[in-house]
Structure 1
Amino acid sequence: MFELPVDLSKARILVTNDDGIHAQGLKILEAIARSLTDDVWVVAPEMEQSAASHSLTINRPLRLRKLDEKRFTVDGTPTDCVLLAVNHVMKDDRPTLVLSGVNQGSNIGEDVTYSGTIAAAMEATLLGVPAIAMSQHYENGSPIDWSAAEAWGADVIRKAVTVAWPKNVLLNVNFPSCKADKVNGVQVVRHGKRKIGDELLERVDPRGKPYIWIGTLRGEADVAPDTDIHVVFSGGISVTPVFLDLTHTPTLQTLRQAFV
């Protein structure tokens, strides 16, 4: 049952991610969740699954390993983790809210189509559980400053769940790369355009075989003030509602005319 608003004091929160069970961002999100409720569960991948997108493991069995009373790991994708958590581990008392992250690196613009962090929130949403994905931006080559997520995360969640959003919608939250006291507020904005893949690095391995490594360079085509890209790069926290109905409704009638 997709129920919003949420009374966090009585909430059962599932925490997951795509960076793996040992990731620093997961520890931070656990702490945030525990500041909101006493009932926190963790089901996360054994290994890093960055850019796994909404992939589901169907060609081999999955192994679920119990680490503690409410802490599990899965040798699969973030989607696998949420599916097993909601329909198996917590099937007798499903989560009230799913939190995914805090991802090591922002998920803005087209990043959402590749992100395992977003995919975990997507799977929760499809299973009828409200979900929020959270990511911490950082500059390549610089240490990650998690202070914005640590200081602002709980408050963003508290405010987000005071209102209802449709059952096919998840929230995507991104924190800027700056000290917590330098954050330039929270803005609800649309996604911009920021396509990865413009940097392909061609190299030769020690055995003399060529390979290509997809780099981090992104072409930025839409960084208007009302986009997540602009907000995060300007030191603000972006909140974007993501709609899972991928049908482009305006084109339906155009295509129907073509197939008369």
Structure 2
Amino acid sequence: MHFLITNDDGIGAHGINALIEAARELGEVTVVAPDRHLSGCGHQTTTDRPLTATQVRPGEFAVDGTPADCVRVAVLKLVPKIDWVLSGINEGGNLGVDVYMSGTVAAAREAMLLGLPAIALSQYRKRGHAADWKRSTRWAIETISQLIRMQPPEHAFWNVNFPDGELLKEPDTLQCLLEPHPLPIAFDERDGSFVYRSNYHERPRADGSDVDCCFSGNIAITRVPHYRYLPK
């Protein structure tokens, strides 16, 4: 089993190191990740300039592009055989409508568009709480193992969110739907400018959604489809 690993927090992030450690328990690993922090970049791609991939360690490359760029370069040029693409582990949740803004999720979506099974993984944490990356690694090993034993979803990818680390019990792993409600957002006016404001941790949560599942202390697994084919 050969895993391609990427993220949107940059190749030096704690989360990608946790995911590399998890994936190496399950197979061979090649890392192709952005050379900088690009959280929230969505599904941007670079087509107006050359991209450079710099080998930072054996089997690990830093690309001066977005997460989606990293997947494209890896699949088309750097890695001859890939079985699964893993993106993350993002520092912060990627739940509900976050899947449209997240570079972590976009990398998994790009892999799916290129015909590869993919999993995006994120570590939700409450404000002021530190991520326990050792625990995230353990959860990643268990969750990835579970998903690769299943039939890869057709025209879709998996989005996984781990709960906040300060738990009283081990989490259950639940398959759920994306939260349908948008984030509550507002803007404060300061010196003639508009400053974004939102409370992520008090966002709406429909019963059984990925937000409800994750905020309740469980591992949320969501199948994210790309589109539906029209009948011939």
Does the alignment reach a TM-score above 0.5? yes
Match of residue 156 from structure 2 = 169
Which of 140, 144, 147 is the aligned partner of 2:131?
Answer: 144
Contact 1:169/1:241 (8 A) holds in 2 = yes
Which of 182, 198, 215 is the aligned partner of 1:233?
Answer: 215
Q: Secondary structure at the match of 2:106?
A: helix
**Is 187-196 or 65-74 further displaced after alignment?**
187-196
1:181 and 1:139 map into 2 onto residues whose CA distance is 15
Query: Partner letter of residue 134 of structure 1?
Result: L
Match of residue 257 from structure 1 = none
2:10 and 2:67 map into 1 onto residues whose CA distance is 9
1:200 and 1:43 map into 2 onto residues whose CA distance is 36
Contact 2:183/2:204 (8 A) holds in 1 = no
Query: Partner letter of residue 217 of structure 2?
Result: G
Contact 2:117/2:153 (8 A) holds in 1 = no
Which of 163, 174, 177 is the aligned partner of 1:190?
Answer: 177
Query: Partner letter of residue 80 of structure 1?
Result: D
CA RMSD between the two structures: 2.1
Q: CA deviation at 1:129?
A: 1.0
Matches within 5 A, 1:76-95: 76-90=65-79, 93-95=80-82
Match of residue 223 from structure 1 = 206
Match of residue 224 from structure 2 = 242
Query: Partner letter of residue 57 of structure 2?
Result: D
Structure 1 length normalisation: TM-score? 0.82
The question of 1:47 aligning with 2:52 is answered no
Match of residue 17 from structure 2 = 27
Which of 87, 105, 115 is the aligned partner of 1:100?
Answer: 87
Contact 1:193/1:220 (8 A) holds in 2 = no
Which structure would you say has the larger Rg?
1
The question of 1:13 aligning with 2:3 is answered yes
Match of residue 255 from structure 1 = none
Q: Secondary structure at the match of 2:129?
A: coil
Q: CA deviation at 1:83?
A: 0.4
* Number of residue pairs aligned between Structure 1 and Structure 2: 230
Identity of aligned residues (%): 36
Q: Secondary structure at the match of 1:52?
A: coil
1:33 and 1:70 map into 2 onto residues whose CA distance is 13
Contact 1:183/1:237 (8 A) holds in 2 = no
CA change 1:139–1:180 in 2 (3 A) is closer
Q: Deviations over 1:199-248 (max 9, x none)?
A: 324334xxxxx433323424744421x2111111110000000001168x
Contact 2:87/2:105 (8 A) holds in 1 = yes
Query: Partner letter of residue 211 of structure 2?
Result: I
Which of 182, 190, 194 is the aligned partner of 1:203?
Answer: 190
Q: CA deviation at 1:141?
A: 3.0
Match of residue 7 from structure 1 = none
Query: Partner letter of residue 144 of structure 1?
Result: A
The question of 1:135 aligning with 2:122 is answered yes
2:133 and 2:181 map into 1 onto residues whose CA distance is 23
Match of residue 45 from structure 2 = 56
Q: Gapped runs of 5+ residues in structure 2?
A: none
CA change 1:49–1:192 in 2 (3 A) is same
Q: Gapped runs of 5+ residues in structure 1?
A: 1-10, 205-209, 253-260
Query: Partner letter of residue 107 of structure 1?
Result: N
